[in-house]
Amino acid sequence: MNNTHATVTIDIVLDRQNTREILRALLHAILFHRLFGTIKPQSFEVLDVTMPGVADPAMERLVEEKVDTFWKGLENVALKRGQVSVTLSKKDQRKAWLGITTYEEEVAWEQWIINAEIRQPNSAQERQQFNQNLAATLSRSLRTMLSHTSSEQGRGAVPPITNSEVSPFPLKISVQVGGVELG
- Give 115-154 pLDDT, tens digit per residue: 999 998 999 999 999 999 999 999 999 999 999 999 998 8
- Give 41-94 pLDDT, tens digit per residue: 999 999 999 999 999 999 999 999 999 999 999 887 777 899 999 999 988 877
DSSP secondary structure string for all residues of 33-94: HH--S---EEEEEETTEEEEEE--HHHHHHHHHHHHHHHHHHTT-SS-EEEEEEEEEEEEEE
Measuring CA to CA, which residue among 22, 1, 67, 33 is closest to residue 150? 33
pTM above 0.75, yes or no: yes
- pLDDT score for 99: 66
- Distance separating alpha carbons of residues 66 and 112, to the nearest angstrom: 14
Q: How confident is the model at residue 183 (pLDDT cuts 50, 70, 90)?
A: confident
Predicted confidence (pLDDT) at residue 157 exceeds the cutoff of 70: yes
Q: How confident is the model at residue 28 (pLDDT cuts 50, 70, 90)?
A: very high
- pLDDT score for 3: 57
- pLDDT score for 76: 77
